[in-house]
Amino acid sequence: MNNKNCSQVFLRLHPQVALKRLEYPYLYHISRDELYEIDDKAETFLARCDGTLSRDAIESDAEFVEYCIEEGLLETLSYPDQIHVSIDHAPIPSLRYLELQLLHRCNLKCRHCYLGPPRQDVLSLEDALNITREFVSHGGLRLLISGGEPLLYHYLKDFIKETSDLKLRRVLLTNGTLITEENIPWLLVENIQFSLDGWREGHNLLRGKGTFDQTLKGIRIARNAGIPISIATMIHQGNLTEFERIKIFTEEIGATEWGIDVLCVAGSLKYNPDLIVPYKEAASFMKYAYGGGYHGSSDGFACGRHLMTVLPTGKAVKCGFYENSPLGDARKNLIECWLKLKHISLEELECRGCPVIYDCAGGCRFRASNPLAPDPVMCNFYGIKPR
């Protein structure tokens, strides 16, 4: 677009873009899950791009405007059409990712489930919506809708509908067995993450006979409906020969992400130790993973720097593995709970002198033998002898 044409149009933030002031000002593209760091001047300018201000009335850097248009961050209108542009301010450190466990119940009895036997705890629709709105108003980026199995949540359709106008990315975490042609039209989230823990034999070993075919059917229904999908796989003794086949499948379906992790000894896995793979062997399969992640560190801190979980009871915890260490009741004040969370600096870890400490970021704190110990999985992944 040349300057002459630009002066004849009105600029407006793209509907999939939000202004988020985290540690620094950012533009967040929701559907692409991309953050663009900007400065204060750019933030002030973009806050004015509400669809009523013409290009020729804006004193701003033409190159920056052009870049935003090309990146799909700004859209151009031939007539004024106003929207409300807000800036969501985050606490420090910013709470960017929230796992919302709507219920504890599940339709499967997976042999590795860290939650253990299902319970009847359910988060009310009102509480789920209030927590989500508080999260997004304080700079939240990505909401992980989970359980148990979220497709069993009686109010899931209402929850998805009521959160559709919020400026955040919603990712539905599911085993996929309950997705059908009937419910896919209203499962309008930004991404559905399916648990695929092997090919037929390996997956069924972990999740039960017949579940593989049901999960693949759900994946294909979602893909055919145009909903972006991602895959999550746990490494266990039954799927070690199946990763090449899963890789082919993730490429065929165009999965945006393939997250791979090692089992943590918790919940049902305590009664199924035969599934556990030695850390050195398990770490070799993590190379297959691609895409982003939810538990990463940042700014020199260990895992969970920007993540928190809310349980079906309403209690907030560091993540689902820390059920017995609640930070408070998220139904009363989500951010108050967040500010109680202790963040571990990489310089506090026992392995702080390791040459790859800033690459591995300390790994998983739950999997480590104590809060400051090395994560043996990441030590093996990077070829470092654990101290």
The residue to which tokens 């049901």 are assigned? 214
* pLDDT confidence band for 6 (50 / 70 / 90): very low
Residue pLDDT, tens place only, 196-226: 999 999 999 999 999 999 999 999 999 999 9
Report the predicted TM-score, pTM, of the whole model to 2 decimal places: 0.94
Distance CA(299)–CA(71), nearest Å, equals: 27
pLDDT of residue 293: 61
Beta strands in 56-189 (DSSP E): 74-77, 87-89, 97-101, 142-146, 169-174
Cβ(73)–Cβ(43) below 8 Å:
no
Per-residue confidence (pLDDT) for residue 385, from 0 to 100: 81
Query: Is the Cβ–Cβ distance between 276 and 237 less than 8 Å?
Result: yes
Of residues 76 and 57, more confidence is placed in 76
- What is the amino acid identity at position 21? R
The pLDDT value recorded for residue 1 is 41
Other C-beta atoms closer than 10 Å to the C-beta of 370 total: 8
pLDDT digits (tens, 9 = 90+) for 293-309: 655 567 899 998 999 99
- Strand duo 34-37 + 142-146: pairing: unpaired
List C-alpha distances in Å: 109 to 114, 120, 148, 274, 372. 11, 15, 10, 16, 33
